[in-house]
Amino acid sequence: MTRAVVRPAEALRPQTHDEVDMSTSLAGLDLPSPILTASGCAAAGKELDQFFDITEIGAVVTKSIMPEPRSGRATPRMAETPSGMLNSIGLQGPGIASFLERDLAWLRQRGARAVVSIAGDTVDDYARLAKTLRMHEGISAIEVNISCPNVEDRGKVFACDAGSSSAVIQAVRRNTDSRVPILAKLSPDVTDITTIALACVRAGADGLSVINTLLGMVIDTDRLRPALAGVTGGLSGPAIRPVAVRCVWQIRQALPDVPILGMGGVRTGLDALQFLLAGANAVSVGTMVFNDPSAPLRVHRELQTALAERGFTRLVDVISYAHGYLDRDQQTLDPIDEDIDAVAEEQ
Amino acid sequence: MPIQYRSEVVSSRRAGQYHVLTLTAGSIPETTKPGHFLGVAIGGDESGLLLRRAFSIHGVQERGVFGGTVDIVVAAHGPGTRWLVGRHRADPLDIIGPLGRPFSLPRDPVSCALVGGGYGSAPLFMLAEHLRARGCRVDMVLGASTEEKLFGVLEAKRMASTVTITTDDGTLGETGRVTDALGKVMDDHDTDVVYACGPMPMLAAVADMASDRGVYSQCAVEESMACGVGVCMTCVLPVIGDDGVTRMVRSCVEGPVFRGDRVRWSDVGTIPPDTLGAPAVEGGTR
């Protein structure tokens, strides 16, 4: 059984994939590729550079960095789940000083674009991190991981509260060079993600990263206890993709102009295409890197082919394209599949 | 540097309770050293099991009818490994290797004791070959709960000067654990270095025995991993660095082989309070 591939009526024939212009723009940042890594799934790029050329993708989004070194949580930190995994790493990292000296320096020397993810326990932690980053070159954007417990609010996660999210974003924006875009990374574990999205944009976020992991839990039925030492963990992987696409779609509906970096279970070029069609300006490949360390560049290539097959010559033309589906239903569609053309003629 | 390779199964054969899989591996064998491991993707391109399984490399062949090949030993104890042992000749597999930090080999021809628990013995035979080539004496101690769960007894007998077998139930060799037999082996042969691979409690006991006698030990750990290439931060354990500071280190890139006296065995599964960056308060995802 074949399905008709619908392409814009103006395109006369499928393009070959190298004719598709893959460049995009994210919050004023020009990227040669719409595919980025995702925070916490690529360390600081060096390990993945063994498997593909990290300068070929849009950017490396580094693992969230905190002011001081952090050991993270006890093990087990991970549980495999259907089409996904649960993690409870606890933001293990070397602290900002070591990050700048080693990781950022390496990314600069390598010529890779770096989106630096930051995380804190308090609003002031985020402000301090932004101040420190301000003194360094080679940062394409800052992603603010607000899915952390706010120790000043009884451990309530910043991203689950519009006021706390807003306070963090304001603090980062105030301490960041206006030429460096900041992205707020949103949690899907909220009643209405567009409310938090709007609060972050009003507080000065130049774009939104959508989505972080969903809070989940697995119980070990042999040991009769939680599978993770941290009890609960973040669920990621293809299992959460429909949730992520829905979040991108809702935010694009609510905020037609906000730049969005979409992510959640992207495995193939067609998965990335779903996010773009839903309204993402660029797409991160996260957990699938654990399965296939060359996934980001593979997804880029598959996406390029998929766009060509659908008659797009520029990636930017597909962004939010699905939102126009009702209008386009009024117009004549132009199916590629000739069998379906033939069937249509017979009727 | 590890290579991601589109491999094919050359053969899969039973060995006691285990399966030995021979896989095409391109140029991976050329850089493989004893103690390196292989990351194997499970279930094909659309699999719902996303995490790679890690297997220590049992043997390599650099050039054969199939080009370079590697052997791994698989125990079918979960859905991923059951899928893997169900592969047949010419089935495709996505593999990455060689991964990790291998065993370090002594410069001088010293006396070595190699200790394996269950199929943890898999990498020890390649190690024994390398040690023998350097003129080292090799004594092996293999243990398991029962005879069926021993791996490589015949291979060990071909390679080692002495082989001691232990089983918990006494179905083969001495009744007891490897550590019950290791002391005598070390005394009889003036062991200078102990190499070990197997379950964590066994490694802890072996490392302690070596340390007590002032003998250098190298242990290949088995920690559960998600990526195997150093990006997921899942497979960490507390290890004391050259500077005396304990850090949570990744067993996939800083291990799997560690100096036995550097791993804080009794603290594995916890964050010891004196670890660099140990929490004052818990917090955050990734």
Distance from CA of A10 to the nearest CA of B (A): 34
* Cα end-to-end distance, chain B, whole Å: 27
Structure tokens at A162: 């519009």
Model confidence pLDDT, tens digit, residues A40-65: 999 999 999 999 999 999 999 999 99
Which site among B51, B240, B285 would you substitute to test the A interface, given the most A Cβ atoms closer than 10 Å to its Cβ? B285
Q: Is a pLDDT exceeding 70 seen at residue A163?
A: yes
Higher pLDDT, A159 or A338: A159
pLDDT of residue A4: 52
pLDDT of residue B248: 97
A/B interface, count of CB pairs below 8 Å: 158
Per-residue pLDDT averaged across A269-297, rounded? 98
Structure pTM? Answer: 0.92
Mean pLDDT (chain A) is 92
Closest CA to B255 of B51, B105, B103, B34: B103
Q: Is a pLDDT exceeding 70 seen at residue A333?
A: no
DSSP string, A221-263: TTTTEESSTTSEEEEESGGGHHHHHHHHHHHHHH-TT--EEEE
pLDDT of residue A103: 97
Confidence of residue A326 (pLDDT cuts 50, 70, 90): confident
Q: Measured on CA atoms in the order B203, B204, B208, B211, is the torsion positive or negative? A: positive
Note if A148 is an active site residue.
yes
CA distance B182 to B206: 8
Query: B279 and chain A: CB distance < 8 Å anywhere?
Result: yes
Contact B50 A238 (CB under 8 A): yes
Contact A75 B236 (CB under 8 A): yes
Measured CA to CA in angstroms, residue A36 lies from A41, A257, A289, A299 at distances of 11, 21, 11, 10
Per-residue pLDDT averaged across A224-242, rounded? 97
Contact A71 B268 (CB under 8 A): no
If you count them, how many residues does chain A have?
A: 347
Closest CA to A210 of A158, A171, A254, A262: A262
Confidence of residue A258 (pLDDT cuts 50, 70, 90): very high
Q: Is a pLDDT exceeding 80 seen at residue A295?
A: yes
Domain parsing of chain A, residue ranges: 6-346
Closest CA to B263 of B231, B220, B212: B220
Nearest CA in chain A to B273: A71
Which site among A39, A46, A47, A106 would you substitute to test the B interface, given the most B Cβ atoms closer than 10 Å to its Cβ? A47
Higher pLDDT, A329 or A187: A187
Per-residue pLDDT averaged across A214-223, rounded? 96
Structure tokens at A310: 């659908």
Model confidence pLDDT, tens digit, residues A62-85: 999 999 999 999 999 999 999 999
Closest CA to A270 of A294, A246, A238, A306: A306
A88: chain B residues, CB-CB within 8 Å: 285
Residues in B 49-78 with any Cβ partner in A closer than 8 A: 49-52
Nearest CA in chain A to B284: A148
pLDDT of residue B104: 96
CA distance A165 to A186: 9
Query: B4 and chain A: CB distance < 8 Å anywhere?
Result: yes
Walk along chain B (286 residues) and give the pLDDT tens digit of each residue: 999 999 999 999 999 999 999 999 999 999 999 999 999 999 999 999 999 999 999 999 998 888 999 999 999 999 999 999 999 999 999 999 999 999 999 999 999 999 999 999 999 999 999 999 999 999 999 999 999 999 999 999 999 999 999 999 999 999 999 999 999 999 999 999 999 999 999 999 999 999 999 999 999 998 888 999 999 999 999 999 999 999 999 999 999 999 999 999 999 999 999 999 998 744 444 4
Per-residue pLDDT averaged across A260-273, rounded? 98
Instruction: Identify the structural domains of chain B with CATH numbers, from first to last.
Output: 3-99 (2.40.30.10), 103-222 (3.40.50.80), 225-286 (no CATH)
pLDDT of residue B63: 86
pLDDT of residue B55: 97
Region A6-346: CATH code? 3.20.20.70
Pairing of strands A182-186, B111-117: unpaired
pLDDT of residue A30: 97
pLDDT of residue B222: 86
Q: Is a pLDDT exceeding 60 seen at residue A18?
A: yes
B247: chain A residues, CB-CB within 8 Å: 71
Measured CA to CA in angstroms, residue B104 lies from A107, B96, B98 at distances of 30, 21, 15
Write the residue in B1, B268, B286 that is nearest to A50 by C-beta.
B1
* CB-count exposure of residue A248 (10 Å: 0-12, 13-18, 19+): buried
